[in-house]
Structure 1
Amino acid sequence: MSEVQTPQAAPSNKGPKDILGHPQGLFYLFFAELWERFSFYGMRALLTLYMVQVIFEALTERDFATAAVYASYGSLVYASTVIGGRISDKILGMRRSIFLGGILMAIGHFVLAIENDIAFFLALSFIIAGNGFFKPNISTFVGTLYEDGDTRKDSGFTIFYMGINIGGWVAPLLCGWLAAEYGWHYGFGLAGIGMLAGLLFFWSGIRKGVFGDRGLPPSEEVINKKVLGIKQSVLIPILAFASAPGIAFLLSSYKSIGTEGSFFEEMNLVNVIFYALGVFILLYLAFILFKASVDERKKLFVAILITVFMTIFWGFHELSGSVITLFAARNVELSLMTAAQTNSLNSMFIIILAIPISLMWTSLAKKKRNPRTPYKFGMGLLFAGISFYVLAISGTSANEDGLVPFAYLLLMYFLLSVGELFMSPVGLSKITDLSPKRIVAFMMGVWFLSSAFAFQVVGFIGKQLAIESTDADVGGFDTLTVYTDGFMLIAQYSIGAGLIVLIASPLIKRLMGNVH
């Protein structure tokens, strides 16, 4: 999400202050992001289980309600980055945005430690608002540390993203353990402490001057401009805090607004908002395609296809925090870790596989056999489909209690992580390469919103696989059948989409022209 921003040019940082050949500032940002991701993924690992076992415990359709809220939360979290990124660009600058976002997120995590329904929805709202300011700016800040053309930039981002995955790996293990041993509020509280630790690292870097003059507001005139008699530097934080009740209302409106048999039968307010937004984006894209030149139209069409493919992939991938966590809790033999802790497996495999797969692409490129983007996307969707097929057939090895061996879940996450590494690193850069310069910012916004729409897919699937029960020990073959049948359908759709992409790859290559 970093490219929502327009980084300012940075002077060279080569010299005695470098650490391991990189600017000092990189390592302060590395630890700030590590701890922020620690807080985010630590909370996410507990979120679905907390809703099922505490917030909606008394509801027969608690899985349905959980799926609806989880999807709304995920969609709004990613959509907020587009708004926060623009505010940072135009008014606050990256430093102020990161601090504001971090404070809001820390408040959200600590409020989440209060076991109360109203506090729960308010907490998620603060995290959504905070993520919108924090997430799109911290990554962009890394880019400002390097001059244009600096060959260290790619490896700098590799180091930075390793921090993301370290946070995503460790957090579910620790927060999950605390929640299981001492209670939910300890797990959520640790996530909040992680967020504060990230802010302290960032503040320490500013205090030591390692960022120079980077990340400041566009101008003092802009930041001090008064709106309604209040400086924008003060007004924006006020509005950010004030937005929490409104977001909480949207999250708490998880019940369907339509009658049985109607188009809106399973839709809530957030679903309707995103459907309307999706229609607007499609109509605007159609208008852009109509106005574009023939060559632009070809490349833009591919950019739209890539975005759609990525939305499908993330829609299946993000089930890890919802349906797959419930599957692990109810139908997997867990001895080494809890269901919440299984959320660490994806990041663990990303850490293990990232360098080998990167080296594989480099080696293939030297031999002029590096697959072009459509082939990588097709393979990524195939790997995702196979990973769900593994879960779908796991039922054949279930014991008398309907529990399947942990090895199936481990293999599933391994394959899904391979698919992620085939798709995620290349998608973003191709959007910028394929989009006409005059609308590249808009296309970047569409790309980031695709993750928000992916959570609508997550919610839809979660509702279809919802178990109706108030039994705290729900599980066994009844739930196993529901989950494995659902995983088989997901596998078929993902494998089918992957095969379509692979078959169409020669045509897509021609449309892409010289873009690799």
Structure 2
Amino acid sequence: MSRENNDFFKTQVLGHPAGLFVLFFTEMWERFSFYGMRALLVLFLVSALGIGGWDWPRENALALYGTYLALLYLTPIIGGTLADKYLGNRKAIIIGALIMTFGHASMAIETPFFLYLGLGLLVIGTGFFKPNMSSFISILYKDFPEKKDGAYTIFYMGVNAGAFLGIMLCGYLGEILGWSWGFGLAGIFMLLGLLQFTLAQGIFGEAGSKPNKDNKKIEADDHTEIEDKLNPFTLIDKIIIVIVAALGLTWVINDPLSKIGEVNFLEFGGTDYSGQTILVTLVLFVFLLGSRIVRYSKITRDKMIAVVIFAFFIIFFWASFEQAGGSMSIFAKDYTSRILSGNSALIFNIVDVIITVVPIAIITWVLFLLFRQTFKKYLISNLILGFSFVLIWGIVVWKIYNNFNTYSYEISYQTYQISETNNQGKETTKTYAITANTKLPENAVLVDNTTVIRSANDFVKNDKIAIIDIDKKGVNYKYLTDEQAELIDTNISATIIKKKENEIQIPATWFLILNSLFIIAFAPLFSKWWESKYNPKPANKYAIGLFFLGIGFAFLAYGASGIPQGAKTASVSIVWLILAYLFHTLGELCVSPVGLSYVSKLVPARMIAFMFGVWYLALAIGNKTSGKMGSMIDDITAKYDISTFFLIFTFVPIIIGIIALLLNPVLKKLMHGVK
């Protein structure tokens, strides 16, 4: 597609082809779906049965979460290869989006089979979708390299816009109306994104419609091209790759399976060999990597060692950063004071309206500009895209109305207390709520309890309601009308005591939108920093990013310092979570620009696919480690306290950051002038 015959560039929106914005909105809806589901997954699994959750132990939920994230970074290696050799980018994107749509639909059913099926489909679909969207832009701008940076900037704004909207709306519906609503909404927008992309195919011409094997030319100097021919993958290399892949995949999947399903593929003769398996896998992988690297000349070998060191840093970064959707979500749900009243509630609602409406208004304006260029030629695609935004605005208006018209009520309900003896012979007093089915024990003592519920219904004093269950924290609930209460005999009878004016509860998922907001706010400043004479060296960028990450967790550790040992709930200020997300985002902005660009600059042609695989493997290990470390939250809280749990994530990144600073001179030497 030469400059002269490039139809893709004939329609312009904000100085770029209209087709770029078709990709922008496709990616936006995919990220909407991904981040919307991610925001809900762990909260849904650990929430009490009575409020629609599955009441899983935190360890099990975070093990599944870590495995899901790890697999998301492994399948793109396969999906990208299939697109390059057989499918082409466009078919791969459509296949991936379709599979992910079915995945989200499965999760909305909320049964164990469909949850695991849904997660599996999302992993497979992401493998096709994720690598091909980015490489598709590269192909479209092949003859316009000077415009590529701007194109990727716009594209990644779509990524963050989708993440922001998905977390906010799917999270809100999931927590307020029910988990199925949140999972279902993610699927609806994935489907709409698929349809608008498929029906606007003509705007891309022939680009991406065929395999890329003939189109992808990777720059390499002469000595690396000669070396590549002398260093083919041997039979032993290929055997080790197969063994490492099989053992690693088995371990990743077996971790949650052994906890949740009590099926352990790595248990033989009553002994669990999980630790030995992953150790053997890592040793074999390091041997494979080392044996490949030493076959190259000194300069090439040095550059590849630099990539491996960068990959090592990235493992520790993502192992800590991805606590956002795991242990930090649990902290938001169970340990953070999310109830605001009076002026604080009013200010929060106003701020929430601003940060909701302004970004959507800006994106709607971009949509209008796209409509002006493409409406007649791609009518159905544009109508679907327009319907998507009508739906978004409808949900946003309902959300705003609901936030300003939801009341808080103090209610009373009856419980009974009995003395029980535990396994150690110690006598404890336990409290149980009284339902229609309850048969009171002889030694029961009746006690009136109170709690607070939030509802859009306008109740008055002494109104009767029926609560399905009281969550562990005592503030989440589901209630039934009198007519519905007659149909369920396991409800808790409750009475309205009084209406509490101007009190709201912030959804636990709301805090996750801060990452996207801070990226949009600070990315331009960091971009100017990287272009200035003060642009840090790569190792220093990693170090700064890791320091920011550690500082974020330090705020959480300090905020949680007053929570007693073993506590399952608390009410610390929301300020600490906000500060943590701010510094984590600053860290991400330091680390994200370094990664893949250095792989492409430092690695010789024949090793490029293998080293990209190594890089994604490092991301997968980091994400799985995040789940593994996050699952220790209960053990560490029980033995020490939750502040100690966050202190681990404070010191580990800072120590690795110091190592990165010390290695800067070594890395500068290894990179041989590559900048």
* TM-score in terms of structure 1 length: 0.83
- Checking the alignment, whether the CA contact within 8 Å between 2:75 and 2:123 is kept in structure 1 is yes
Could you tell me how far 1:46 is from its partner in structure 2? Answer: 0.2
Could you tell me how far 1:289 is from its partner in structure 2? Answer: 2.1
> Alignment partner for residue 310 of structure 1, among 310, 314, 319?
314
In the alignment, structure 1 residue 350 sits paired with structure 2 residue 519: yes
The one-letter code sitting in structure 2 at the alignment partner of 1:75 is A
> Alignment partner for residue 666 of structure 2, among 498, 501, 507?
507
Q: d(CA) in 1 for partners of 2:635 and 2:330?
A: 10
Could you tell me how far 1:333 is from its partner in structure 2? Answer: 1.5
Q: d(CA) in 2 for partners of 1:388 and 1:109?
A: 32
Partner of 1:78: 73
> Alignment partner for residue 644 of structure 2, among 475, 478, 485?
485
The one-letter code sitting in structure 2 at the alignment partner of 1:216 is S
Gap runs ≥5 in structure 2: 213-249, 340-347, 349-505
Partner of 2:619: 451
- Checking the alignment, whether the CA contact within 8 Å between 1:333 and 1:403 is kept in structure 2 is yes
Q: d(CA) in 2 for partners of 1:418 and 1:342?
A: 16
Judge which range, 49-58 or 340-349, deviates more: 49-58
- Checking the alignment, whether the CA contact within 8 Å between 1:56 and 1:65 is kept in structure 2 is no
Tell me the SS of whatever aligns to 2:145. Answer: coil
In the alignment, structure 1 residue 19 sits paired with structure 2 residue 188: no
The one-letter code sitting in structure 2 at the alignment partner of 1:305 is I
1:41-80 equivalence runs, <5 A: 41-53=35-47, 57=54, 62-80=57-75
Partner of 2:82: 87
Cα distance change on mapping 1:169 and 1:23 into 2, 3 Å: same
Q: d(CA) in 2 for partners of 1:251 and 1:92?
A: 33
Tell me the SS of whatever aligns to 1:292. Answer: coil
- Checking the alignment, whether the CA contact within 8 Å between 1:85 and 1:136 is kept in structure 2 is yes
Identify, as 1 or 2, the structure richer in helix: 1
Could you tell me how far 1:58 is from its partner in structure 2? Answer: 5.2
Q: d(CA) in 2 for partners of 1:218 and 1:506?
A: 41
Cα distance change on mapping 1:263 and 1:379 into 2, 3 Å: farther
- Checking the alignment, whether the CA contact within 8 Å between 2:553 and 2:647 is kept in structure 1 is yes
> Alignment partner for residue 144 of structure 1, among 127, 131, 139?
139
1:112-511 equivalence runs, <5 A: 112-148=107-143, 150-206=145-201, 209-218=202-211, 253-255=257-259, 257=264, 264=272, 278-335=282-339, 337-362=506-531, 364-365=532-533, 369-396=534-561, 402-466=570-634, 482-511=641-670
Cα distance change on mapping 1:310 and 1:39 into 2, 3 Å: same
Could you tell me how far 1:483 is from its partner in structure 2? Answer: 2.5
The one-letter code sitting in structure 2 at the alignment partner of 1:23 is P
Cα distance change on mapping 1:351 and 1:481 into 2, 3 Å: farther
- Checking the alignment, whether the CA contact within 8 Å between 1:99 and 1:199 is kept in structure 2 is yes
Judge which range, 402-411 or 32-41, deviates more: 402-411
Partner of 2:101: 106
- Checking the alignment, whether the CA contact within 8 Å between 2:563 and 2:642 is kept in structure 1 is no
Cα distance change on mapping 1:277 and 1:95 into 2, 3 Å: farther
- Checking the alignment, whether the CA contact within 8 Å between 1:14 and 1:22 is kept in structure 2 is no
The one-letter code sitting in structure 2 at the alignment partner of 1:381 is L
Could you tell me how far 1:141 is from its partner in structure 2? Answer: 1.1
Gap runs ≥5 in structure 1: 1-7, 220-245, 469-477
Q: d(CA) in 1 for partners of 2:30 and 2:639?
A: 35
- Checking the alignment, whether the CA contact within 8 Å between 2:560 and 2:642 is kept in structure 1 is no
Identify, as 1 or 2, the structure richer in strand: 2
Q: d(CA) in 1 for partners of 2:254 and 2:122?
A: 14
Tell me the SS of whatever aligns to 1:430. Answer: helix
The one-letter code sitting in structure 1 at the alignment partner of 2:617 is L
Cα distance change on mapping 1:119 and 1:318 into 2, 3 Å: same
Q: d(CA) in 2 for partners of 1:65 and 1:9?
A: 54
- Checking the alignment, whether the CA contact within 8 Å between 1:377 and 1:501 is kept in structure 2 is yes
Q: d(CA) in 1 for partners of 2:75 and 2:101?
A: 17
Cα distance change on mapping 1:83 and 1:250 into 2, 3 Å: farther
- Checking the alignment, whether the CA contact within 8 Å between 2:97 and 2:125 is kept in structure 1 is yes
Cα distance change on mapping 1:15 and 1:266 into 2, 3 Å: closer
Could you tell me how far 1:18 is from its partner in structure 2? Answer: 2.1
- Checking the alignment, whether the CA contact within 8 Å between 1:385 and 1:493 is kept in structure 2 is yes
**Residues 7-43 of structure 1: per-residue CA shift (max 9 Å, x gap):** x988646854122221221100000000000000000
Cα distance change on mapping 1:197 and 1:296 into 2, 3 Å: same
Judge which range, 184-193 or 18-27, deviates more: 18-27
Tell me the SS of whatever aligns to 1:302. Answer: helix
**Residues 58-100 of structure 1: per-residue CA shift (max 9 Å, x gap):** 55xx111112111111111211111111111111111111111
**Residues 204-246 of structure 1: per-residue CA shift (max 9 Å, x gap):** 321xx11000111339xxxxxxxxxxxxxxxxxxxxxxxxxx9
- Checking the alignment, whether the CA contact within 8 Å between 2:338 and 2:574 is kept in structure 1 is yes
Q: d(CA) in 2 for partners of 1:173 and 1:247?
A: 34
Q: d(CA) in 1 for partners of 2:209 and 2:615?
A: 26
- Checking the alignment, whether the CA contact within 8 Å between 1:312 and 1:454 is kept in structure 2 is yes
Cα distance change on mapping 1:95 and 1:331 into 2, 3 Å: same
Q: d(CA) in 1 for partners of 2:61 and 2:176?
A: 23
Partner of 1:472: none
- Checking the alignment, whether the CA contact within 8 Å between 2:314 and 2:618 is kept in structure 1 is yes
- Checking the alignment, whether the CA contact within 8 Å between 2:108 and 2:184 is kept in structure 1 is yes
- Checking the alignment, whether the CA contact within 8 Å between 2:326 and 2:630 is kept in structure 1 is yes
Could you tell me how far 1:315 is from its partner in structure 2? Answer: 1.1
Could you tell me how far 1:251 is from its partner in structure 2? Answer: 8.2
Partner of 1:230: none
- Checking the alignment, whether the CA contact within 8 Å between 2:44 and 2:54 is kept in structure 1 is no
Q: d(CA) in 2 for partners of 1:247 and 1:123?
A: 20
Tell me the SS of whatever aligns to 2:73. Answer: helix
Q: d(CA) in 2 for partners of 1:187 and 1:466?
A: 27
- Checking the alignment, whether the CA contact within 8 Å between 2:515 and 2:585 is kept in structure 1 is yes
* TM-score in terms of structure 2 length: 0.64
Could you tell me how far 1:376 is from its partner in structure 2? Answer: 0.6
- Checking the alignment, whether the CA contact within 8 Å between 1:402 and 1:480 is kept in structure 2 is no
Could you tell me how far 1:102 is from its partner in structure 2? Answer: 0.7
Cα distance change on mapping 1:69 and 1:515 into 2, 3 Å: same
Partner of 2:425: none
Q: d(CA) in 2 for partners of 1:456 and 1:248?
A: 8
Partner of 2:439: none
